[in-house]
Amino acid sequence: MVGTAALIIVLSVFNGFEDLVKGLYADFYADLRITPQVGKTFVLTPKQIQQIQNTNGVAFYSLTAEEKALLVNGDNQSIVFVKGVDSSFTQVNPVQTHLIRGSFNLGTIQKPQLVVGAGIENALGLDVEKSLYPVTLYMPNRQSANMLSAEGLYSFNAMPAGTFMIQEDFDNKYVFTNLAFVKYMLNMAANTFSAVEIKLTKTANTQQVQTELQHLLGNSFKVQTRYQQNESLYTVMEVEKWVIYGILSIILIIAAFNMIGALTMLVLEKQKDITVLKALGASDGLIQKIFLTEGFLLAAVGGGAGMVLALLICYIQIKFHLVSLGGGTFIIDYYPVKLAMGDFVLVIATVFVIALLAAWFPAFKAGKEKLSLRS
């Protein structure tokens, strides 16, 4: 009972954290992203853009340009990724819903404004709502042979307009501004971009749209789903879940020794009954079946009780958030829980297999006992 309940509760908590993390990353990474196979930028003709827009399943698209830069505010400085986005970006990516201060105003090519991550704001000592002076943005001059010289960097002043907070990986790295300004700073041609980010319709088949776009654009482009953009993260999360499942399954196996002991004692207590049954014509297989059934009964009662207990505990946590996270610096202040039918099926199968293995030895021993009614 305890082992089954622990398995379901821990797997449900992992599901909750997985959903939370995926939700945070989903608010930063698009459903599909088109990038060059080689290099940082690519040329996209108006015809290709129109073809992307007309592809079935594509709801919105946004053209972006991205480069590493140095952001300076007085004596404070930070290495950042500057992401220039067009006016359609907020339809593809809901970053603006994560603003904690200021507004999502990216300015113009002549008067650029910056929306910075919360970590960058702290590192530079900014106050986007009360800032009177601009910050200085240094970006590489791609035409310069020596990046370390004065000619190797372009600089431009920009006013901070807002602060977003999504997840530490993004908050400490990214700065948003308008696409035209970034392209101007990087001397990028009119039809040159770093990526195309795509928002799909609710009914779209992601793999199907990905295949269609890849065929449309050719092998010089790379079309990635949200999972492929964060493959290492999702793989680590999945491995962690299976490792925890393995550890808790070992606890179930240890608990199964109680079943082995109970059934073995039952075999010793029922020796005369076994002898009587055999005298009446019962086969070894029937005797084994009796004790296997006893083992499955014990597993069913314990496993069923554990599932009911897990459901009760998970419901209380979902409804009342009784178990809190320490520290007070997280996005949520309680352990998230998400019940999944697949976890229940997995736990039932695990309990069944362990019960079969635990009951087999005593049942086999009972079937092979050579007893006599004489004592």
pLDDT along the chain (375 residues), means of 10: 92 91 84 95 95 96 96 94 96 94 95 96 92 90 62 88 92 97 93 96 96 95 93 87 90 85 86 85 88 90 95 95 76 89 94 89 80 56
- pTM to 2 decimal places: 0.78
Given this model, what pLDDT does residue 375 score? 53
Given this model, what pLDDT does residue 69 score? 95
Query: Residue 121's closest CA among 67, 175, 82?
Result: 175
For residue 201, give the 3-state DSSP assignment.
coil
Q: Give dist(CA 56, CA 2) in Å, integer.
A: 50
Given this model, what pLDDT does residue 327 score? 63
Joined tokens for residue 38: 């080689």
Query: Residue 334's closest CA among 316, 321, 348?
Result: 321
Query: Residue 106's closest CA among 118, 122, 95?
Result: 95
Question: E strand or H helix at 70, and its extent?
Answer: strand 58-73
Given this model, what pLDDT does residue 145 score? 58
Given this model, what pLDDT does residue 40 score? 92
Q: Give dist(CA 263, CA 269) in Å, integer.
A: 10
- Strand-strand pairing, 113-117 and 135-140: unpaired
For residue 69, give the 3-state DSSP assignment.
strand
Domain boundaries, the chain: 2-20+233-367, 30-229
Given this model, what pLDDT does residue 263 score? 86
Given this model, what pLDDT does residue 29 score? 92
- Asked if 21 and 169 touch (Cβ cutoff 8 Å), the reply is no
